[in-house]
Amino acid sequence: MVMLRGLVRTVRLKVSRFSPERKPQPQHRLPRKMKYHKHASDAVFWYLNELGSRVVAKTGIPSDRHHIGKLILQSLKDAPDFVMQIDGGTGDIDTFQDALEKSVGCANAFRTIGLKADDVILVMAPNFTNLTISIYAAFYLGIIVAGVDSTLGIMELEETFKLRLPKVIFCGSEREEDVAEALRNIKLDVRIVTYNKSENNMSFVEFVEKYGSSTTVDEFKPAEIDPVEQLCLLVSTSGTTGTPKCAALTHKNLMIGVPYIWVYTSNFPKPIERALIVSPVQWLSATFSFILSPMLRFTRIQTSLPLTIEHTYFLINKYKPSYMMLSPTLMTTLLNPLERNKCDFTSFKVIMLAGSAVTQTLQEDLKNFVMNAEVYIGYGLSEVTSFALDPVSAYPGSIGRPLKHFQYRLVDPNTQEDILEPNVTGELWLKGPSSFKGYYNNPQATAEIYTEDGWIKSGDLLYRDENWNFYYIERLKMLLKYRNHHISPTEVESVINKHPGVLHVAVTGIPDDECGDLAVACVVPHHNIKVTAQEIKDLVKESLTDTKQLRGGVIFMEQLPLTSTSKVNRAVLKKIVRDMKGE
Protein backbone atom coordinates (compact mmCIF):
# COMPACT_ATOMS: atom_id res chain seq x y z
CA MET A 1 0.00 0.00 0.00
CA VAL A 2 2.80 2.45 0.80
CA MET A 3 3.78 4.27 -2.32
CA LEU A 4 7.55 3.75 -2.44
CA ARG A 5 9.64 2.17 -5.14
CA GLY A 6 10.65 -1.43 -4.55
CA LEU A 7 11.15 -4.84 -6.07
CA VAL A 8 8.26 -7.15 -6.84
CA ARG A 9 7.96 -9.61 -4.00
CA THR A 10 5.66 -12.47 -3.04
CA VAL A 11 5.02 -13.34 0.61
CA ARG A 12 3.93 -16.85 1.54
CA LEU A 13 1.35 -16.65 4.34
CA LYS A 14 0.65 -19.03 7.14
CA VAL A 15 -3.08 -18.59 7.62
CA SER A 16 -4.31 -19.00 11.16
CA ARG A 17 -7.81 -20.25 11.82
CA PHE A 18 -9.17 -16.74 12.39
CA SER A 19 -7.40 -14.97 9.51
CA PRO A 20 -8.84 -14.61 6.02
CA GLU A 21 -7.19 -16.56 3.24
CA ARG A 22 -5.18 -14.18 1.11
CA LYS A 23 -3.50 -14.49 -2.24
CA PRO A 24 -0.07 -12.87 -2.36
CA GLN A 25 -0.35 -9.54 -4.14
CA PRO A 26 2.39 -8.33 -6.48
CA GLN A 27 3.99 -5.02 -5.65
CA HIS A 28 3.93 -2.18 -8.17
CA ARG A 29 6.77 0.03 -9.28
CA LEU A 30 6.27 3.77 -9.14
CA PRO A 31 7.05 6.10 -12.03
CA ARG A 32 10.58 7.48 -11.92
CA LYS A 33 9.19 10.98 -11.45
CA MET A 34 7.57 10.05 -8.13
CA LYS A 35 9.70 11.22 -5.22
CA TYR A 36 10.25 9.01 -2.22
CA HIS A 37 12.21 8.68 1.01
CA LYS A 38 13.78 5.48 2.22
CA HIS A 39 14.19 6.44 5.88
CA ALA A 40 12.46 8.61 8.42
CA SER A 41 14.28 11.54 10.03
CA ASP A 42 14.41 12.60 13.69
CA ALA A 43 14.97 16.24 12.72
CA VAL A 44 11.50 17.36 13.86
CA PHE A 45 12.33 16.20 17.38
CA TRP A 46 15.64 18.06 17.43
CA TYR A 47 13.85 21.23 16.40
CA LEU A 48 11.02 20.85 18.94
CA ASN A 49 13.53 19.97 21.68
CA GLU A 50 15.27 23.27 20.98
CA LEU A 51 11.95 25.12 21.20
CA GLY A 52 11.07 23.32 24.42
CA SER A 53 14.48 24.06 25.91
CA ARG A 54 14.01 27.79 25.32
CA VAL A 55 10.62 27.67 27.06
CA VAL A 56 12.05 25.71 30.00
CA ALA A 57 15.00 28.13 30.24
CA LYS A 58 12.48 30.96 30.80
CA THR A 59 10.14 29.18 33.21
CA GLY A 60 12.51 26.86 35.04
CA ILE A 61 9.92 24.07 34.87
CA PRO A 62 11.28 20.95 33.09
CA SER A 63 7.85 19.57 32.13
CA ASP A 64 7.04 22.77 30.19
CA ARG A 65 8.75 21.17 27.20
CA HIS A 66 5.39 19.37 26.79
CA HIS A 67 3.10 22.31 27.68
CA ILE A 68 1.44 22.91 24.31
CA GLY A 69 0.09 26.31 25.36
CA LYS A 70 3.52 27.64 26.31
CA LEU A 71 5.13 26.19 23.17
CA ILE A 72 2.54 27.83 20.92
CA LEU A 73 2.80 31.14 22.80
CA GLN A 74 6.59 31.20 22.40
CA SER A 75 6.32 30.26 18.71
CA LEU A 76 3.88 33.08 17.96
CA LYS A 77 6.25 35.57 19.61
CA ASP A 78 9.25 34.27 17.65
CA ALA A 79 8.00 35.31 14.19
CA PRO A 80 5.24 37.95 14.55
CA ASP A 81 5.03 38.79 10.83
CA PHE A 82 4.67 35.21 9.60
CA VAL A 83 1.28 34.37 8.03
CA MET A 84 -0.28 31.63 10.15
CA GLN A 85 -3.60 31.05 8.39
CA ILE A 86 -5.73 32.13 5.45
CA ASP A 87 -9.49 31.65 5.22
CA GLY A 88 -9.91 30.78 1.55
CA GLY A 89 -13.64 31.40 1.84
CA THR A 90 -13.29 35.05 2.85
CA GLY A 91 -9.66 35.93 2.15
CA ASP A 92 -9.08 36.81 5.83
CA ILE A 93 -5.45 36.46 6.96
CA ASP A 94 -3.93 36.11 10.42
CA THR A 95 -0.25 36.63 11.13
CA PHE A 96 1.39 35.18 14.21
CA GLN A 97 1.03 38.60 15.86
CA ASP A 98 -2.71 38.67 15.09
CA ALA A 99 -3.11 35.18 16.52
CA LEU A 100 -1.05 36.10 19.59
CA GLU A 101 -3.14 39.13 20.45
CA LYS A 102 -6.48 37.44 19.83
CA SER A 103 -5.61 34.20 21.64
CA VAL A 104 -4.33 36.05 24.71
CA GLY A 105 -7.53 38.13 24.68
CA CYS A 106 -9.61 34.95 24.48
CA ALA A 107 -7.64 33.36 27.32
CA ASN A 108 -8.23 36.46 29.44
CA ALA A 109 -11.94 36.16 28.65
CA PHE A 110 -11.93 32.52 29.74
CA ARG A 111 -10.37 33.53 33.05
CA THR A 112 -12.82 36.41 33.50
CA ILE A 113 -15.85 34.13 33.19
CA GLY A 114 -14.28 31.62 35.59
CA LEU A 115 -12.95 28.85 33.37
CA LYS A 116 -10.00 26.89 34.69
CA ALA A 117 -7.95 23.77 34.04
CA ASP A 118 -10.03 20.61 33.44
CA ASP A 119 -13.06 22.60 32.28
CA VAL A 120 -14.21 21.70 28.76
CA ILE A 121 -14.93 23.97 25.82
CA LEU A 122 -16.68 22.45 22.83
CA VAL A 123 -15.85 23.59 19.30
CA MET A 124 -18.23 22.70 16.44
CA ALA A 125 -17.90 24.81 13.32
CA PRO A 126 -16.18 25.02 9.94
CA ASN A 127 -12.58 26.17 10.03
CA PHE A 128 -13.08 29.85 10.79
CA THR A 129 -9.82 31.66 11.54
CA ASN A 130 -10.97 32.30 15.12
CA LEU A 131 -11.65 28.60 15.67
CA THR A 132 -7.98 27.85 16.27
CA ILE A 133 -7.64 31.07 18.29
CA SER A 134 -10.11 29.72 20.86
CA ILE A 135 -8.27 26.40 20.88
CA TYR A 136 -4.91 28.06 21.56
CA ALA A 137 -6.44 30.10 24.38
CA ALA A 138 -7.70 26.90 25.99
CA PHE A 139 -4.27 25.28 25.66
CA TYR A 140 -2.69 28.22 27.49
CA LEU A 141 -4.91 27.60 30.52
CA GLY A 142 -5.12 23.81 30.68
CA ILE A 143 -8.74 23.88 29.48
CA ILE A 144 -9.82 20.76 27.58
CA VAL A 145 -10.90 21.15 23.95
CA ALA A 146 -13.53 18.90 22.42
CA GLY A 147 -13.94 19.10 18.65
CA VAL A 148 -17.39 17.98 17.51
CA ASP A 149 -19.00 17.35 14.13
CA SER A 150 -20.92 20.50 13.24
CA THR A 151 -23.51 18.53 11.24
CA LEU A 152 -24.87 16.49 14.17
CA GLY A 153 -28.60 16.44 14.73
CA ILE A 154 -30.28 17.55 17.95
CA MET A 155 -30.47 14.08 19.53
CA GLU A 156 -26.81 13.47 18.68
CA LEU A 157 -25.91 16.84 20.18
CA GLU A 158 -27.73 15.94 23.38
CA GLU A 159 -25.64 12.78 23.80
CA THR A 160 -22.48 14.69 22.91
CA PHE A 161 -23.13 17.42 25.47
CA LYS A 162 -24.04 14.95 28.22
CA LEU A 163 -20.77 13.08 27.74
CA ARG A 164 -18.46 16.10 27.55
CA LEU A 165 -20.29 18.58 29.87
CA PRO A 166 -18.82 21.73 28.30
CA LYS A 167 -18.76 25.15 29.98
CA VAL A 168 -18.70 27.06 26.65
CA ILE A 169 -19.83 25.94 23.19
CA PHE A 170 -18.35 27.67 20.14
CA CYS A 171 -20.32 27.19 16.92
CA GLY A 172 -21.45 28.89 13.74
CA SER A 173 -24.58 31.02 14.01
CA GLU A 174 -26.42 28.65 11.66
CA ARG A 175 -26.30 25.95 14.38
CA GLU A 176 -26.93 28.05 17.50
CA GLU A 177 -30.67 27.34 17.66
CA ASP A 178 -30.11 23.58 17.46
CA VAL A 179 -27.39 23.81 20.11
CA ALA A 180 -29.71 25.81 22.38
CA GLU A 181 -32.54 23.32 21.90
CA ALA A 182 -30.31 20.36 22.69
CA LEU A 183 -29.09 22.10 25.85
CA ARG A 184 -32.67 22.84 26.95
CA ASN A 185 -33.70 19.22 26.38
CA ILE A 186 -31.01 17.93 28.74
CA LYS A 187 -31.36 20.88 31.15
CA LEU A 188 -27.76 22.01 30.78
CA ASP A 189 -26.85 25.69 31.22
CA VAL A 190 -23.95 26.46 28.88
CA ARG A 191 -22.69 29.70 27.34
CA ILE A 192 -22.94 29.76 23.51
CA VAL A 193 -20.49 31.85 21.50
CA THR A 194 -20.68 32.09 17.70
CA TYR A 195 -17.68 32.57 15.44
CA ASN A 196 -19.74 34.70 13.05
CA LYS A 197 -22.26 37.46 13.77
CA SER A 198 -25.36 36.44 15.71
CA GLU A 199 -28.52 38.17 16.88
CA ASN A 200 -29.12 35.73 19.73
CA ASN A 201 -25.68 35.06 21.23
CA MET A 202 -22.41 36.85 21.75
CA SER A 203 -20.01 36.50 18.83
CA PHE A 204 -16.36 35.57 19.34
CA VAL A 205 -15.25 39.14 18.66
CA GLU A 206 -17.79 40.51 21.15
CA PHE A 207 -16.81 37.88 23.71
CA VAL A 208 -13.14 38.89 23.57
CA GLU A 209 -13.93 42.62 23.53
CA LYS A 210 -16.14 42.33 26.61
CA TYR A 211 -14.08 39.99 28.77
CA GLY A 212 -10.58 39.82 27.32
CA SER A 213 -8.72 43.01 28.30
CA SER A 214 -7.52 42.09 31.78
CA THR A 215 -3.84 41.74 30.78
CA THR A 216 -1.63 42.72 27.87
CA VAL A 217 0.25 40.18 25.78
CA ASP A 218 3.46 40.96 27.66
CA GLU A 219 1.76 40.59 31.05
CA PHE A 220 -0.11 37.40 30.23
CA LYS A 221 0.98 34.21 32.03
CA PRO A 222 -0.24 30.76 30.96
CA ALA A 223 -1.53 28.40 33.64
CA GLU A 224 0.92 26.14 35.45
CA ILE A 225 -0.18 22.59 34.71
CA ASP A 226 1.33 19.11 34.68
CA PRO A 227 1.49 18.28 30.95
CA VAL A 228 1.93 14.60 31.74
CA GLU A 229 -1.48 14.34 33.41
CA GLN A 230 -3.40 17.38 32.15
CA LEU A 231 -5.98 16.51 29.51
CA CYS A 232 -5.75 18.65 26.43
CA LEU A 233 -8.02 17.20 23.77
CA LEU A 234 -11.11 15.00 23.48
CA VAL A 235 -11.19 13.21 20.12
CA SER A 236 -14.35 11.57 18.82
CA THR A 237 -13.80 7.89 18.06
CA SER A 238 -15.66 4.62 17.83
CA GLY A 239 -12.66 2.74 19.22
CA THR A 240 -12.80 -1.04 18.82
CA THR A 241 -16.45 -1.47 19.80
CA GLY A 242 -18.18 0.85 17.33
CA THR A 243 -19.86 2.79 20.16
CA PRO A 244 -19.32 6.58 19.95
CA LYS A 245 -16.99 7.93 22.62
CA CYS A 246 -14.05 10.29 22.92
CA ALA A 247 -10.39 9.56 23.50
CA ALA A 248 -8.81 11.78 26.18
CA LEU A 249 -5.31 12.98 25.24
CA THR A 250 -2.83 14.85 27.42
CA HIS A 251 -0.40 17.60 26.43
CA LYS A 252 2.46 15.10 26.60
CA ASN A 253 0.57 12.53 24.52
CA LEU A 254 0.25 15.06 21.72
CA MET A 255 3.79 16.45 21.89
CA ILE A 256 5.24 12.94 21.70
CA GLY A 257 2.87 11.53 19.08
CA VAL A 258 2.06 14.36 16.69
CA PRO A 259 5.65 15.12 15.50
CA TYR A 260 5.83 11.66 13.91
CA ILE A 261 3.65 13.06 11.13
CA TRP A 262 6.71 15.04 10.03
CA VAL A 263 9.43 12.36 10.01
CA TYR A 264 9.50 12.40 6.21
CA THR A 265 11.63 15.58 6.16
CA SER A 266 14.63 17.19 7.85
CA ASN A 267 13.84 20.83 6.97
CA PHE A 268 12.94 22.80 10.11
CA PRO A 269 11.57 25.30 10.68
CA LYS A 270 9.29 25.61 7.65
CA PRO A 271 9.18 21.99 6.43
CA ILE A 272 6.53 23.11 3.91
CA GLU A 273 5.20 26.46 2.76
CA ARG A 274 1.43 25.99 2.79
CA ALA A 275 -0.79 23.18 4.09
CA LEU A 276 -4.35 22.73 2.89
CA ILE A 277 -6.63 21.80 5.79
CA VAL A 278 -9.57 19.78 4.49
CA SER A 279 -10.31 18.04 7.80
CA PRO A 280 -13.00 19.37 10.16
CA VAL A 281 -12.14 20.22 13.75
CA GLN A 282 -13.28 16.86 15.15
CA TRP A 283 -10.63 15.01 13.14
CA LEU A 284 -7.26 14.47 14.74
CA SER A 285 -5.64 15.20 11.37
CA ALA A 286 -6.87 18.80 11.62
CA THR A 287 -5.47 19.11 15.14
CA PHE A 288 -2.05 17.96 13.92
CA SER A 289 -1.77 21.08 11.78
CA PHE A 290 -3.52 23.40 14.24
CA ILE A 291 -0.99 22.53 16.94
CA LEU A 292 2.22 22.37 14.94
CA SER A 293 1.77 25.10 12.33
CA PRO A 294 2.92 27.85 14.77
CA MET A 295 5.80 25.70 16.06
CA LEU A 296 7.03 24.48 12.66
CA ARG A 297 6.15 27.74 10.90
CA PHE A 298 4.00 26.88 7.92
CA THR A 299 0.87 28.62 6.64
CA ARG A 300 -2.50 26.91 6.86
CA ILE A 301 -5.01 27.27 4.01
CA GLN A 302 -8.50 26.56 5.39
CA THR A 303 -12.04 27.75 4.82
CA SER A 304 -15.15 28.79 6.71
CA LEU A 305 -17.31 27.81 3.72
CA PRO A 306 -18.70 24.32 3.06
CA LEU A 307 -15.88 22.26 1.63
CA THR A 308 -17.43 21.13 -1.64
CA ILE A 309 -15.29 19.54 -4.33
CA GLU A 310 -15.54 22.74 -6.40
CA HIS A 311 -14.41 24.86 -3.45
CA THR A 312 -11.53 22.48 -2.72
CA TYR A 313 -10.38 22.77 -6.33
CA PHE A 314 -10.60 26.57 -5.99
CA LEU A 315 -8.41 26.54 -2.85
CA ILE A 316 -5.80 24.33 -4.52
CA ASN A 317 -5.71 26.35 -7.75
CA LYS A 318 -5.52 29.71 -5.99
CA TYR A 319 -3.23 29.06 -3.02
CA LYS A 320 -0.98 26.32 -4.43
CA PRO A 321 -0.62 24.29 -1.21
CA SER A 322 2.35 21.96 -0.97
CA TYR A 323 0.97 19.63 1.73
CA MET A 324 -2.33 17.93 2.46
CA MET A 325 -3.51 15.18 4.82
CA LEU A 326 -6.85 13.64 3.93
CA SER A 327 -8.87 10.45 3.81
CA PRO A 328 -8.61 8.04 0.86
CA THR A 329 -12.35 8.58 0.33
CA LEU A 330 -11.93 12.32 -0.24
CA MET A 331 -8.81 11.81 -2.35
CA THR A 332 -10.74 9.39 -4.57
CA THR A 333 -13.48 11.99 -5.02
CA LEU A 334 -10.96 14.72 -5.86
CA LEU A 335 -9.48 12.48 -8.54
CA ASN A 336 -12.84 11.71 -10.17
CA PRO A 337 -11.96 11.30 -13.87
CA LEU A 338 -14.81 13.58 -14.93
CA GLU A 339 -13.71 16.46 -12.69
CA ARG A 340 -10.01 16.23 -11.87
CA ASN A 341 -8.81 18.23 -14.89
CA LYS A 342 -10.38 21.28 -13.25
CA CYS A 343 -7.64 21.18 -10.61
CA ASP A 344 -3.87 21.66 -10.85
CA PHE A 345 -2.34 19.21 -8.38
CA THR A 346 1.27 20.00 -9.31
CA SER A 347 1.87 22.28 -6.31
CA PHE A 348 1.73 19.35 -3.88
CA LYS A 349 5.03 18.07 -2.56
CA VAL A 350 3.58 15.78 0.15
CA ILE A 351 0.22 14.02 0.47
CA MET A 352 -0.65 11.98 3.54
CA LEU A 353 -3.52 9.49 3.25
CA ALA A 354 -4.97 8.18 6.50
CA GLY A 355 -8.18 6.92 8.03
CA SER A 356 -9.00 3.88 5.90
CA ALA A 357 -7.55 1.42 3.40
CA VAL A 358 -6.06 2.80 0.19
CA THR A 359 -7.10 1.00 -2.96
CA GLN A 360 -4.76 0.04 -5.79
CA THR A 361 -6.91 2.13 -8.14
CA LEU A 362 -6.32 5.23 -6.03
CA GLN A 363 -2.60 4.55 -5.93
CA GLU A 364 -2.49 4.34 -9.72
CA ASP A 365 -4.45 7.59 -10.07
CA LEU A 366 -2.06 9.34 -7.71
CA LYS A 367 0.90 8.19 -9.77
CA ASN A 368 -0.62 9.75 -12.87
CA PHE A 369 -2.01 13.02 -11.50
CA VAL A 370 0.15 13.94 -8.49
CA MET A 371 3.54 12.98 -9.85
CA ASN A 372 5.44 15.76 -8.07
CA ALA A 373 4.39 14.61 -4.61
CA GLU A 374 5.70 12.17 -2.07
CA VAL A 375 2.66 10.09 -1.07
CA TYR A 376 2.54 8.32 2.28
CA ILE A 377 -0.13 6.08 3.76
CA GLY A 378 -0.43 6.53 7.50
CA TYR A 379 -1.79 3.92 9.89
CA GLY A 380 -2.76 5.30 13.27
CA LEU A 381 -5.23 5.29 16.14
CA SER A 382 -6.78 8.13 18.13
CA GLU A 383 -5.94 6.05 21.20
CA VAL A 384 -2.20 6.39 20.53
CA THR A 385 -2.56 10.03 19.41
CA SER A 386 -0.96 9.76 15.99
CA PHE A 387 0.65 7.30 13.61
CA ALA A 388 1.21 3.85 15.07
CA LEU A 389 3.71 2.84 12.38
CA ASP A 390 6.43 4.60 10.40
CA PRO A 391 5.08 5.10 6.84
CA VAL A 392 8.32 6.54 5.47
CA SER A 393 10.70 3.63 6.02
CA ALA A 394 8.16 0.98 5.06
CA TYR A 395 8.72 -1.78 2.53
CA PRO A 396 6.55 -1.32 -0.59
CA GLY A 397 3.16 -2.89 0.00
CA SER A 398 3.27 -2.62 3.77
CA ILE A 399 1.65 0.05 5.95
CA GLY A 400 4.77 0.76 7.99
CA ARG A 401 7.52 -0.36 10.31
CA PRO A 402 7.81 0.04 14.09
CA LEU A 403 8.28 3.49 15.58
CA LYS A 404 10.90 3.82 18.27
CA HIS A 405 8.60 4.98 21.07
CA PHE A 406 6.23 2.00 20.84
CA GLN A 407 6.34 -1.64 21.86
CA TYR A 408 4.46 -4.01 19.55
CA ARG A 409 2.72 -7.36 19.88
CA LEU A 410 0.63 -9.46 17.51
CA VAL A 411 -1.82 -11.57 19.48
CA ASP A 412 -4.08 -14.47 18.52
CA PRO A 413 -7.59 -13.11 19.24
CA ASN A 414 -8.84 -16.59 20.10
CA THR A 415 -6.11 -17.71 22.51
CA GLN A 416 -4.67 -14.32 23.56
CA GLU A 417 -1.23 -15.84 22.94
CA ASP A 418 1.59 -13.92 21.26
CA ILE A 419 2.35 -14.69 17.62
CA LEU A 420 6.12 -14.87 17.41
CA GLU A 421 6.69 -16.05 13.85
CA PRO A 422 6.35 -13.80 10.78
CA ASN A 423 3.55 -13.91 8.21
CA VAL A 424 0.82 -14.97 10.65
CA THR A 425 -2.20 -12.73 11.20
CA GLY A 426 -3.04 -11.40 14.66
CA GLU A 427 -4.46 -8.40 16.49
CA LEU A 428 -1.99 -5.55 16.93
CA TRP A 429 -1.33 -4.46 20.54
CA LEU A 430 0.66 -1.31 21.37
CA LYS A 431 2.27 0.30 24.38
CA GLY A 432 4.07 3.65 24.56
CA PRO A 433 4.19 7.21 26.00
CA SER A 434 1.64 8.61 23.55
CA SER A 435 -1.01 6.10 24.68
CA PHE A 436 -4.15 7.98 25.69
CA LYS A 437 -5.47 8.47 29.22
CA GLY A 438 -8.66 6.58 28.42
CA TYR A 439 -12.14 7.29 27.12
CA TYR A 440 -13.52 10.42 28.73
CA ASN A 441 -16.12 9.63 31.41
CA ASN A 442 -16.24 6.01 30.24
CA PRO A 443 -14.16 3.74 32.50
CA GLN A 444 -15.85 0.60 31.19
CA ALA A 445 -14.76 1.26 27.60
CA THR A 446 -11.26 2.16 28.84
CA ALA A 447 -11.00 -1.15 30.67
CA GLU A 448 -12.03 -2.99 27.51
CA ILE A 449 -9.31 -1.51 25.31
CA TYR A 450 -6.49 -1.61 27.88
CA THR A 451 -5.00 -4.82 29.22
CA GLU A 452 -4.11 -5.03 32.90
CA ASP A 453 -0.44 -4.45 32.09
CA GLY A 454 -1.07 -1.38 29.92
CA TRP A 455 -1.28 -2.66 26.34
CA ILE A 456 -3.79 -1.06 23.96
CA LYS A 457 -5.73 -3.53 21.83
CA SER A 458 -6.04 -1.93 18.39
CA GLY A 459 -8.92 -4.08 17.13
CA ASP A 460 -7.05 -4.42 13.81
CA LEU A 461 -5.77 -7.61 12.21
CA LEU A 462 -2.26 -7.31 10.77
CA TYR A 463 0.69 -9.52 10.03
CA ARG A 464 4.39 -8.73 9.79
CA ASP A 465 7.18 -10.10 7.68
CA GLU A 466 10.56 -11.22 9.00
CA ASN A 467 11.84 -7.62 8.79
CA TRP A 468 8.96 -6.18 10.83
CA ASN A 469 7.13 -4.57 7.96
CA PHE A 470 3.44 -4.64 8.90
CA TYR A 471 0.60 -5.45 6.51
CA TYR A 472 -3.02 -4.55 7.19
CA ILE A 473 -5.74 -7.19 6.85
CA GLU A 474 -9.00 -5.95 8.37
CA ARG A 475 -10.81 -4.59 11.40
CA LEU A 476 -11.35 -7.56 13.69
CA LYS A 477 -15.07 -6.83 14.03
CA MET A 478 -15.59 -6.26 10.30
CA LEU A 479 -14.74 -9.79 9.22
CA LEU A 480 -17.57 -11.75 7.66
CA LYS A 481 -17.82 -15.51 8.05
CA TYR A 482 -19.23 -17.76 5.31
CA ARG A 483 -19.40 -21.46 6.29
CA ASN A 484 -16.54 -20.94 8.78
CA HIS A 485 -14.42 -19.19 6.17
CA HIS A 486 -13.51 -15.56 6.91
CA ILE A 487 -14.17 -12.87 4.33
CA SER A 488 -12.27 -9.59 4.51
CA PRO A 489 -14.49 -6.78 3.17
CA THR A 490 -11.37 -4.76 2.40
CA GLU A 491 -9.96 -7.53 0.21
CA VAL A 492 -13.18 -7.85 -1.81
CA GLU A 493 -13.45 -4.05 -2.08
CA SER A 494 -9.91 -3.83 -3.45
CA VAL A 495 -10.92 -6.15 -6.30
CA ILE A 496 -14.15 -4.29 -7.13
CA ASN A 497 -12.33 -0.95 -7.10
CA LYS A 498 -10.38 -2.10 -10.14
CA HIS A 499 -13.51 -1.77 -12.27
CA PRO A 500 -13.19 1.52 -14.19
CA GLY A 501 -16.84 2.37 -13.56
CA VAL A 502 -16.64 2.13 -9.76
CA LEU A 503 -16.15 5.33 -7.77
CA HIS A 504 -16.70 3.94 -4.24
CA VAL A 505 -17.51 0.50 -2.89
CA ALA A 506 -18.15 -1.04 0.51
CA VAL A 507 -18.79 -4.69 1.26
CA THR A 508 -21.01 -5.84 4.10
CA GLY A 509 -22.99 -8.96 4.90
CA ILE A 510 -26.55 -10.17 5.36
CA PRO A 511 -27.22 -13.03 7.80
CA ASP A 512 -28.07 -16.51 6.55
CA ASP A 513 -29.16 -19.27 8.93
CA GLU A 514 -27.26 -21.96 7.06
CA CYS A 515 -24.18 -20.18 5.75
CA GLY A 516 -23.52 -17.35 8.22
CA ASP A 517 -22.80 -14.13 6.28
CA LEU A 518 -23.54 -13.54 2.60
CA ALA A 519 -21.29 -10.85 1.13
CA VAL A 520 -23.02 -7.84 -0.45
CA ALA A 521 -21.25 -5.16 -2.50
CA CYS A 522 -22.62 -1.62 -2.22
CA VAL A 523 -21.34 0.30 -5.24
CA VAL A 524 -21.32 3.99 -6.13
CA PRO A 525 -20.65 4.14 -9.89
CA HIS A 526 -18.92 6.96 -11.69
CA HIS A 527 -21.36 9.44 -13.16
CA ASN A 528 -22.42 8.58 -16.71
CA ILE A 529 -20.57 5.23 -16.68
CA LYS A 530 -22.77 2.16 -16.85
CA VAL A 531 -21.90 -0.70 -14.51
CA THR A 532 -23.90 -3.89 -14.11
CA ALA A 533 -24.18 -6.17 -11.11
CA GLN A 534 -23.03 -9.10 -13.22
CA GLU A 535 -19.82 -7.28 -14.16
CA ILE A 536 -19.05 -6.76 -10.48
CA LYS A 537 -19.83 -10.39 -9.64
CA ASP A 538 -17.71 -11.66 -12.54
CA LEU A 539 -14.76 -9.51 -11.46
CA VAL A 540 -14.86 -10.98 -7.95
CA LYS A 541 -15.30 -14.49 -9.34
CA GLU A 542 -12.21 -14.11 -11.53
CA SER A 543 -10.08 -12.82 -8.66
CA LEU A 544 -11.11 -14.51 -5.43
CA THR A 545 -11.88 -17.95 -4.09
CA ASP A 546 -15.41 -19.39 -4.03
CA THR A 547 -16.04 -18.60 -0.36
CA LYS A 548 -15.58 -14.85 -1.02
CA GLN A 549 -18.18 -14.49 -3.76
CA LEU A 550 -21.00 -11.92 -3.64
CA ARG A 551 -23.77 -14.32 -2.66
CA GLY A 552 -25.74 -11.44 -1.14
CA GLY A 553 -25.70 -9.54 -4.42
CA VAL A 554 -24.75 -6.07 -5.62
CA ILE A 555 -26.56 -2.87 -4.61
CA PHE A 556 -26.03 0.41 -6.46
CA MET A 557 -26.18 3.61 -4.39
CA GLU A 558 -25.79 7.32 -5.04
CA GLN A 559 -23.50 7.59 -2.02
CA LEU A 560 -22.23 5.50 0.88
CA PRO A 561 -23.13 6.43 4.46
CA LEU A 562 -20.11 8.01 6.14
CA THR A 563 -19.09 8.68 9.71
CA SER A 564 -18.02 12.14 10.90
CA THR A 565 -14.45 11.09 10.12
CA SER A 566 -15.28 10.31 6.46
CA LYS A 567 -15.06 6.55 6.91
CA VAL A 568 -17.77 4.24 5.67
CA ASN A 569 -20.36 3.87 8.42
CA ARG A 570 -20.47 0.07 8.44
CA ALA A 571 -23.26 -0.17 11.00
CA VAL A 572 -25.57 2.11 9.01
CA LEU A 573 -24.63 0.40 5.76
CA LYS A 574 -25.46 -3.01 7.19
CA LYS A 575 -28.88 -1.75 8.36
CA ILE A 576 -29.61 -0.21 4.94
CA VAL A 577 -28.73 -3.46 3.20
CA ARG A 578 -30.77 -5.60 5.57
CA ASP A 579 -33.77 -3.30 5.18
CA MET A 580 -33.49 -3.47 1.39
CA LYS A 581 -33.15 -7.24 1.46
CA GLY A 582 -36.11 -7.57 3.84
CA GLU A 583 -34.09 -9.13 6.63
Q: Is residue 133 part of a domain?
A: yes
- Has residue 161 been placed in a domain? yes
Question: Residue 234 falls within a domain, yes or no?
Answer: yes
Helices (H), 505-569: 533-543
User: Does residue 545 lie within any of the structural domains?
Assistant: yes
The answer, yes or no, to whether residue 31 has pLDDT greater than 50, is no
- The band of 383, judged by pLDDT with boundaries at 50, 70 and 90, is very high
Last residue of a domain, one of 203, 238, 255: 255
Q: What is the pLDDT of residues 159-215, one digit of tens each?
A: 999 999 999 999 999 999 999 999 999 999 999 999 999 999 999 999 999 999 999
Amino acid at 253: N
Say if residue 582 is exposed, middle or buried (CB neighbours under 10 Å; 0-12, 13-18, 19+). exposed
Average of per-residue pLDDT values in the chain: 89
Say whether pTM exceeds 0.85: no
C-alpha dist (Å) from residue 404 to 40, 42, 459: 11, 11, 21
Q: Which residues pair with 144 in a beta bridge?
A: 120
**CATH number of the CATH domain containing 517:** 3.30.300.30
| Residue 425 in domain | no
- How does residue 143 score in pLDDT terms, banded at 50, 70 and 90? very high
Q: What is the mean pLDDT of residues 460-480?
A: 90
Total of domains in the chain: 2
| pLDDT, tens digit (0-9, with 9 covering 90-100), for 97-113 | 999 999 999 999 999 99
Last residue of a domain, one of 235, 255, 275: 255
Q: Tell me the three-class secondary structure of 110-158, residue by residue.
A: HHHCCCCCCCEEEEECCCCHHHHHHHHHHHHHCCEEEECCCCCCHHHHH
Give yes or no for residue 154 having a pLDDT over 70.
yes
Is 407 within the bounds of a domain? no
pLDDT (average), residues 445-470: 94
Which structural domain, as residue segments, surrounds residue 199?
A: 44-255
Within a domain: 281: no
The answer to whether residue 520 sits within a structural domain is: yes
Q: What CATH code is carried by the domain that includes residue 113?
A: 3.40.50.12780
Handedness of CA 392, 395, 396, 398 (dihedral sign): negative
**pLDDT value at position 23?**
36
Inter-CA distances, 208 with 101, 104, 110, 120, 134, Å? 10, 9, 9, 18, 10
> By three-state DSSP, how is residue 576 classified?
helix
Segment 571-582 shows an average pLDDT of 84
Longest dimension (CA), the chain: 73
Q: What is the mean pLDDT of residues 472-487?
A: 82
The mean pLDDT of 82-96, rounded to a whole number, is 97
In this prediction, residue 38 carries a pLDDT of 65
- Choosing from 200, 230, 255, the residue where a domain stops is 255
Task: Name residue 23's amino acid.
Answer: K
Neighbours of 30 (CB within 10 A): 18
